[in-house]
């Protein structure tokens, strides 16, 4: 379902015409709710770069929300994953930032930087896997969520629309229930099926009574 189809469905179901700004608000609020409830492939991003010698800081990407992992290349094709800690640990364990070596830990220092320890002794290659908000269907036209799981997006937008319309309580409950059902199915996909396979986990089995 692309954005045009989505907005047409919202207006048809609600039997009301909304402004472009209102429709965009409904959809973007729904996307934010969905993206913070379940981790789907569209939320993953990967960047690579180089650490700066004698600098304990690594710049956070502008669209960064959370990290999946940070790894550095300690030798050719040999990668080591850094362990996430907090700044207090970093200050206690590595009080002298002038001591350099191969980084082993990282922490969120502020909104724009990670702090690494020990301070990098070389310009190691670094690879960051992180979560971010993908481009909204409002501006992209088509997204993974709209193409692969449009029921969650539509029902989420309808919840926002009925709230905007100050709908009757029974209508609010109905829309919210439909959204919850869609999200339960999406969570089974994003946090369940996409994190296992038949070799490691076996195939799902329903008990026979």
Domain ranges of the chain: 3-40+149-192, 44-131
Q: What are phi and psi of 69, to 5 degrees?
A: -170, 155
Placement of tokens 């002794």 in the chain:
121
- How much of the chain, in percent, has pLDDT values that exceed 90? 82
Q: Indicate the SS3 state at residue 128.
A: strand
Question: What sign for the dihedral angle of Cα 103, 195, 49, 87?
Answer: negative
Residue 209 has pLDDT above 90, yes or no: no
Convert the pLDDT of each residue in 70-123 to its tens digit: 999 998 889 999 999 999 999 999 999 899 999 999 999 999 999 999 999 999
Question: What is the pLDDT averaged over residues 158-162?
Answer: 96
Give the distance, in angstroms, between the CA of residue 162 and the centroid of all CA atoms in the same chain.
Answer: 26
Model-wide pTM > 0.95: no
Backbone angles phi, psi at 122, to 5 degrees: -150, 170
Closest CA to 43 of 166, 151, 169, 143: 143
DSSP assignment letter at 42: G
Q: With pLDDT > 70 as the criterion, what percentage of the chain qualifies?
A: 100
**Mean pLDDT throughout 37-63?**
94
Nearest CA-CA partner of 12 in 172, 142, 157:
157
Coil, strand, or helix at residue 32? helix
Mean pLDDT of 124-133: 96
Confidence at residue 193, expressed as pLDDT on a 0 to 100 scale: 80
Over residues 63-84, the pLDDT tens digits come to 999 999 999 999 888 999 999 9
Q: Give the pLDDT score at 50.
A: 96
């Amino acid at each position: 379902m692309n954005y045009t189809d989505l907005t047409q469905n919202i207006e048809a179901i609600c039997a009301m015409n909304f402004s472009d700004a209102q429709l965009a608000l409904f959809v973007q609020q729904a996307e934010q709710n969905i993206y913070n409830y379940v981790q789907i492939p569209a939320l993953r991003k990967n960047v690579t770069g180089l650490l700066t010698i004698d600098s304990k800081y690594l710049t956070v990407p502008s669209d960064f929300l959370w990290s999946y992992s940070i790894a550095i290349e300690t030798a050719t094709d040999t990668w080591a994953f850094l362990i996430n800690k907090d700044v207090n640990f970093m200050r206690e364990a590595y009080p002298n930032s002038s001591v350099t070596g191969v980084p082993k830990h990282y922490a969120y220092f502020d909104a724009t930087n990670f702090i690494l320890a020990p301070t990098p002794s070389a310009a190691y290659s670094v690879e960051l896997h992180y979560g971010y908000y993908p481009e909204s269907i409002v501006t992209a036209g088509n997204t993974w969520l709209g193409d692969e799981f449009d029921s969650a997006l539509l029902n989420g937008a309808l919840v926002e629309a009925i709230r905007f319309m100050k709908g009757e309580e029974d209508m609010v409950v109905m829309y919210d229930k439909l959204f919850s059902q869609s999200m339960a199915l999406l969570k089974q996909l994003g946090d369940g099926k996409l994190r296992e396979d038949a070799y490691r986990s076996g195939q799902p089995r329903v008990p026979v009574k």
